[in-house]
Structure formats: C-alpha cells, structure tokens
C-alpha cells in the first residue's frame, strides 16, 4: 500500500513537472520567439510527436554519446522540416534550438550534481 502511494505521488509529481515544462515552453515561444498561438500549438504538437523518440535516444545506455548526438541531430532535422512547413522562419527555428540546448545543459547540470533533476 505504501509503495502504491509513493508510486502515485511520483507519477503526479512527474505529470506536474511535464505540465510546468510545457507551460514554460509556450511562454518562451510566445514571448521570446514571438510566435502566434496557432504556431505555438504547431510547435508543441511537433515536439510532442518526437518526444518519445528523443527520450528513447537519451535513455539508451548501450549507445555512445556520439551515437546519441548523431541520432538527435537526425530527429532535429526532421523536426526542422516540420517547423518550416508549419510556417516558422529560420531565425525562429534557431531560437528554438538555442532554448533546447540551454534546457539540455540545465538538465545535465542537475543530473551531474547527483539529484537527478529534483
């Protein structure tokens, strides 16, 4: 029973973090990248479609960092094509990349500090 309660609490916390991250992304896209609500929805839908693949690459302990980076660059290229077809400019896509890189660095710093992002 205690294990179930702990699992439920952990799931709820992860869900809350995901919602907070999505809201932060939307705010960034609106305020910094200056996207319309329709383009924000498009970007978020594209990101959500590729999220499982990105997570799988990140979590693959059998792949080297170089292999992971190559796979992620391939996904990023696919996403860029989708972003362009949605109507984003090269500058807007570059701003998204910079923010993704910043967020990845923040996550890695948290993980390297031994608290696994908590």
Q: Is residue 75 part of a domain?
A: yes
Domain that residue 95 falls in: 2-112
Q: What is the number of structural domains in the chain?
A: 1
Q: Of 56, 49, 43, 53, which is closest to residue 92 (Cα–Cα)?
A: 43
End-to-end CA distance of the chain: 24
**Does a structural domain hold residue 118?**
no
In a domain? residue 45: yes
Q: Residue 59: inside a domain, yes or no?
A: yes
Q: Is 63 within the bounds of a domain?
A: yes
pLDDT > 90 fraction of the chain, expressed in percent and rounded? 59
Burial (0-12, 13-18, 19+ Cβ within 10 Å), 28: middle
| 57-96 per-position pLDDT tens digit | 988 999 998 999 999 999 999 999 999 999 999 999 999 9
104 pLDDT band (50/70/90 cuts)? confident
pLDDT at 115 > cutoff 80: no
């Amino acid at each position: 029973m205690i294990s179930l309660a702990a699992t439920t609490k952990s799931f709820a916390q992860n869900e809350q973090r995901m919602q907070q991250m999505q809201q932060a992304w939307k705010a960034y896209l609106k305020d910094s990248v200056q996207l319309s609500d329709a383009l924000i929805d498009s970007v978020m839908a594209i990101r959500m479609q590729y999220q499982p693949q990105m997570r799988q690459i990140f979590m693959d302990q059998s792949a080297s960092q170089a292999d992971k980076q190559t796979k992620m660059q391939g996904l990023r290229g696919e996403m860029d094509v989708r972003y362009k077809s949605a109507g984003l400019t090269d500058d807007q896509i570059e701003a998204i990349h910079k923010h993704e890189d910043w967020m990845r660095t923040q996550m890695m710093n948290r993980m390297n500090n031994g608290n696994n992002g908590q």
